[in-house]
Amino acid sequence: MSALLRGIVAYPITPFTSKGRVDEVLLGKIVDDMVKAGVHAIAPLGSTGVLPYLSDDEREQVAEIVIKRVAGRVPTLVGVSSLTTERTVHHAKHAEKLGASAVMIIPMSYWKLSDAEIITHYDTVAKRIAIPIAVYNNPATGGLDLSPDVISRLLKIQNVTMVKESTGDVNRMHRLVQLCGEDVAFYNGSNPLALAAFVAGARGWCTAAPNIIPKLNIELYDAIQRGDVAAARQSFYRQLPFLQFIVAHGLPRAISAALELQGASVGPLRAPLQALPAERVEELRRILVGLEVIPGE
Amino acid sequence: MSALLRGIVAYPITPFTSKGRVDEVLLGKIVDDMVKAGVHAIAPLGSTGVLPYLSDDEREQVAEIVIKRVAGRVPTLVGVSSLTTERTVHHAKHAEKLGASAVMIIPMSYWKLSDAEIITHYDTVAKRIAIPIAVYNNPATGGLDLSPDVISRLLKIQNVTMVKESTGDVNRMHRLVQLCGEDVAFYNGSNPLALAAFVAGARGWCTAAPNIIPKLNIELYDAIQRGDVAAARQSFYRQLPFLQFIVAHGLPRAISAALELQGASVGPLRAPLQALPAERVEELRRILVGLEVIPGE
Amino acid sequence: MSALLRGIVAYPITPFTSKGRVDEVLLGKIVDDMVKAGVHAIAPLGSTGVLPYLSDDEREQVAEIVIKRVAGRVPTLVGVSSLTTERTVHHAKHAEKLGASAVMIIPMSYWKLSDAEIITHYDTVAKRIAIPIAVYNNPATGGLDLSPDVISRLLKIQNVTMVKESTGDVNRMHRLVQLCGEDVAFYNGSNPLALAAFVAGARGWCTAAPNIIPKLNIELYDAIQRGDVAAARQSFYRQLPFLQFIVAHGLPRAISAALELQGASVGPLRAPLQALPAERVEELRRILVGLEVIPGE
Amino acid sequence: MSALLRGIVAYPITPFTSKGRVDEVLLGKIVDDMVKAGVHAIAPLGSTGVLPYLSDDEREQVAEIVIKRVAGRVPTLVGVSSLTTERTVHHAKHAEKLGASAVMIIPMSYWKLSDAEIITHYDTVAKRIAIPIAVYNNPATGGLDLSPDVISRLLKIQNVTMVKESTGDVNRMHRLVQLCGEDVAFYNGSNPLALAAFVAGARGWCTAAPNIIPKLNIELYDAIQRGDVAAARQSFYRQLPFLQFIVAHGLPRAISAALELQGASVGPLRAPLQALPAERVEELRRILVGLEVIPGE
């Protein structure tokens, strides 16, 4: 089965009301803004969407809101990871039922999993749903590092068709191409690696940046598509300070602060996560003014 | 407030029935065997007890079984960690209500927490309960490394009185003594560091080993207590292959296999965790025969 | 002063006679072959040229042979690093006297150097010569990691005008561009990063690969120069197995073996370095046959 | 052959005259002071003695001065490491001729050495001398990490009888005992690990600290010897700030500064190494006043 995703895969945050409930209205608006700006896919319940901090009910609620609001205009890639296989199957089936285009799974780890455990985990979920699965490798958050070799084995499972690589090491992508062939559907999940990954053959860029700068993200992708290295490099270095900032300070904290600077009211982060400290917000403001995302003073 | 724990703090596994439910009878027996063998405290719902893989209901069930079975014969230290502060408070209050002597909290991480977030997390829980709290530092499982400096700040919170250090670096313990004074109640959570930690001043050893070899663990502690370095060293090197094995292969997998080798029926591990592969079980059998825990052939 | 180097900066090995002396004739031929193949600069006495394993006399001998043989057809970049500042000055002055276009210096480390020590080291050498200096950062061999910040400070010294980055992390290059401006003359020294580095703005690629595949290296550079991303990617993936091999097995060992496979007699490596084991040579042979560098059987 | 070293193995610095030559008089005095204080062996030309920064002639000069001054009162362990095997043999033979009790060799690395290269390196030297060889493992300075397995294989070479472990990880020592038996002659080279290493069975402590606090170092060793854990712990924590300081700031810089604070004139460090910055000297002064090594004000 061929992969259905390409280009800018946008990860919305999960906004909350002042009482700490999921803010359905604002979530819908964020998603709608992204689609209208031209992103190529929407991925709710990622790290940016604070998936692990939500209850099972909240996860189902977010998936439903986003899929309904996207309404088929672009594909949806829904995060369904859980620590146990049983809960992962549960969420994957639910996402499929809601009409998700595909699901994304990171093997969340407390005890480091063996290769056999990882493969059985994916295989068990894959057998229970018919839509495509994207493997997600992000040792910095998930605590487990999937080697290119393990990923290549996962990609042999029937409906496991894509991989999001977030180690930030372009050599991992080279290895995937060498192991799986140049048609392997790999996606870059490390924002500052966007340029290098596209040139290495990445089919898409999984990123929270379109919450704030979707046009710039799309501009970079388009430049690569038409083979204009100079324009791609210029676009990349222009947005790089913003990309570095959101990675350095945690995507939910940084994206929430940026939306607040744009006038949105995204509510409190879920504890123990806290809002970005004031001096960091000021630093972020300067970056956003430089990008003409918010007006300078 | 002075710390109430010392010596061998034993971590029972959580056994399951063949249907995957918590095996209440076997759990009670494991705990009872440990207390009768002479361990100095019982700590349910640790990493060994697969805390993060249990539902909220199961966690409460395990805490209740263990506290009732111990029945005050030794102190209990109940794991109450959750990714969110709200769930951590919930479990801490529940443990207190059940009569736990103290609770243990590891700041579980998906997004890396800032120092301020960590401190507020503990402080929020501490304000809601009256029993002592033990900080637990284990970057290999929790994904977050608490520096000696942060730990020393946490120990200034009213009822945060103990710290379990599982980095496996004795220099961390030296730093704690230097920062907090020689009366700091630190406990070693890295099995192969047991000897070095006691000599450095550790008040106790938090370990899953007493599921299998409680007498040897106590023997090491007693030798240190009476200042017999040669006997302590001899006891340590004798049990070291077992300690190294259970760390290398994951405590729940290794302890479950060892209990099975002793004739217990601990049930399936919770997926994605799988039973130890057969060749590893054979290796473990040889170690246990060498320790005269099971008969040789 | 603007940097004078661009494109493929080729690092010849230092061949030895069967008695272990520098093989002047073969060294001259290797260099001549590179220049005729079209490389843009020649860099004797690099890591590939086993600089640290040569006596002071041998270093001067190699510098002289190479500079004479190049005879101004392309620029020369001569390695002059030593553990002490005094010896570094000595070799830098000697290289300048011989007519080197520029010198390259890695701050070799036994005791980790402070920032102040690193800066004074370069500054002392810079004051004693008039030709440009290239900073070389390679923690894997040199044992010391120069941060982008320290490199940016070194580039403010009068005739320190270039930097070769060999950490293999493209983010370091991004930081250099951000700190020093887009005109910063940085060169990539990590072979598998060649494609990503050029796209990020690297002015050149410092590599031992032209000992064997100069045409492929130049082909990649030319594709980037004319903005043909697809051709650059294709050329890159074609030569990547060779680049990965020489990095994995150590440049002097791997390049020597490849030259032997081509029929040259490069002599024994200097002990403790040993020739590539036979099974690795066989692996290398298959790679070279695939690249049509040597005939298949 | 049984190992001949035990206890406190003291590493003198190499002092220089104001003109940068080896200060023979002061070097002799430093060594003499150590022997009179009761250290159990003297080890010239270690990392502390800035071995890699000395010319071949200077190395021979230092070895001669120290061996003559010790005059057989305690054993001498002379550093003879060089990047090439040929130079290592040269210095080992010279040390033997001068009457060294044993030599110490760290496999200095520029290109990472394979296991076969490491073993051949030691074997070649071992065949050329009759005195014992100590393996020295210190990846932080040497750039190469010898696994316990490789060390155990080196210890099978005829006159390779000792190993100095400086990784600072007591688990490495456990592994050595497990692989080589409890009689393995291992020595600790990580100052802050002194207590843990002795308890784990280390035969000695290789340290630069006796340049300044020989009595305290010996006191710790003696407490362990008589099995007084409490006294050993007390002595250890007392000297720990000094041990941490000299490790954190580099042994030659820190020891030189401490000797200057005691009134000695040790001359300039060899560039690129520089004297400890003034604020660090002040910190060191406070530590030394606390230890009553120098008078307070």
| Residues A139-186 pLDDT 10s | 988 889 999 999 999 999 999 999 999 999 999 999 999 999 999 999
Chain A hits for B272, CB-CB cut-off 8 Å, are 84-85, 107, 113, 117-118, 120-121
Average pLDDT of every residue of chain A: 96
Smallest CA–CA separation between D286 and chain B, in Å?
Answer: 16
With tokens 């995703």, the residue in question is A5
Which pTM does this prediction carry? 0.96
Smallest CA–CA separation between C99 and chain D, in Å?
Answer: 26
- Measure CA A144 to chain center: 17
Instruction: Name the stretches of chain C with pLDDT < 50.
Output: 1-2
Is residue B256 included in any domain, yes or no?
A: no
Instruction: Tell me how far apart the alpha carbons of residues B286 and A263 are, in angstroms, rounded to a whole number.
Output: 66
pLDDT at B1: 39
Element of type H or E holding D135: strand D133-137
| pLDDT tens column, A70-119 | 999 999 999 999 999 999 999 999 999 999 999 999 998 889 999 999 99
Smallest CA–CA separation between C280 and chain A, in Å?
Answer: 19
Residues B206 and B187 sit within 8 Å (Cβ to Cβ): yes
Is residue D260 included in any domain, yes or no?
A: no
pLDDT at B3: 54
Smallest CA–CA separation between B131 and chain A, in Å?
Answer: 21
Known binding residue C84? Answer is no
Is residue C263 included in any domain, yes or no?
A: no
Instruction: Tell me how far apart the alpha carbons of residues D177 and B271 are, in angstroms, rounded to a whole number.
Output: 37
Contacts of A151 (CB under 8 A, 6+ apart): A135, A137, A163, A165, A176, A179
- Measure CA C293 to chain center: 21
The answer to whether D170 contacts chain B (CB < 8 Å) is yes
Instruction: Tell me how far apart the alpha carbons of residues C290 and C293 are, in angstroms, rounded to a whole number.
Output: 8
Q: Which two tokens stand for residue A220?
A: 């970079």
In this complex, the chains that touch D, judged by 3 or more CB pairs closer than 8 A, are B, C
Q: Best interface-test mutation with D: which of C122, C124, C154, C273 has the largest number of D CBs within 10 A?
A: C273
Q: Do C199 and A240 touch (CB under 8 A)?
A: no
Is residue A98 included in any domain, yes or no?
A: yes
Q: Specify the CATH number for the domain of residue A143.
A: 3.20.20.70
Q: Best interface-test mutation with D: which of B165, B169, B170 has the largest number of D CBs within 10 A?
A: B170
pLDDT at D109: 80
Instruction: Name the stretches of chain D with pLDDT < 50.
Output: 1-2
Q: Which two tokens stand for residue B86?
A: 């709200």
Which residue from D minimizes the CA distance to B241?
D178
Is residue A275 included in any domain, yes or no?
A: no
State the complex-level ipTM.
0.95
Q: Which two tokens stand for residue D257?
A: 């500064």
Give the residue from A147, A45, A81 showing the smallest Cα distance to B272: A81
- Average pLDDT of span A203-214: 98
Q: Decide if C136 is catalytic.
A: yes
Is residue D238 included in any domain, yes or no?
A: no
In this complex, the chains that touch B, judged by 3 or more CB pairs closer than 8 A, are A, D
Instruction: Tell me how far apart the alpha carbons of residues A296 and C27 are, in angstroms, rounded to a whole number.
Output: 61
Q: What's the number of domains chain D is made of? A: 1
Q: Decide if C97 is catalytic.
A: no
Q: Do D200 and B168 touch (CB under 8 A)?
A: no
Q: Is D178 buried (19+), middle (13-18) or exposed (0-12) by CB count in 10 A?
A: middle
| pLDDT tens column, D77-107 | 999 999 999 999 999 999 999 999 999 999 9
Give residue A30's domain range.
7-228
Is residue B296 included in any domain, yes or no?
A: no
Instruction: Name the stretches of chain B with pLDDT < 50.
Output: 1-2
How much helix, strand and coil, in percent to the nearest 5, is found in chain C? 50, 10, 35
Q: Do A274 and B85 touch (CB under 8 A)?
A: no
User: Any bridge partners for residue B41, and if so which?
Assistant: B9
User: First CA to last CA across chain D, in angstroms?
Assistant: 52
Is residue B275 included in any domain, yes or no?
A: no
- Average pLDDT of span A54-65: 98
pLDDT at D3: 54
pLDDT at A3: 54
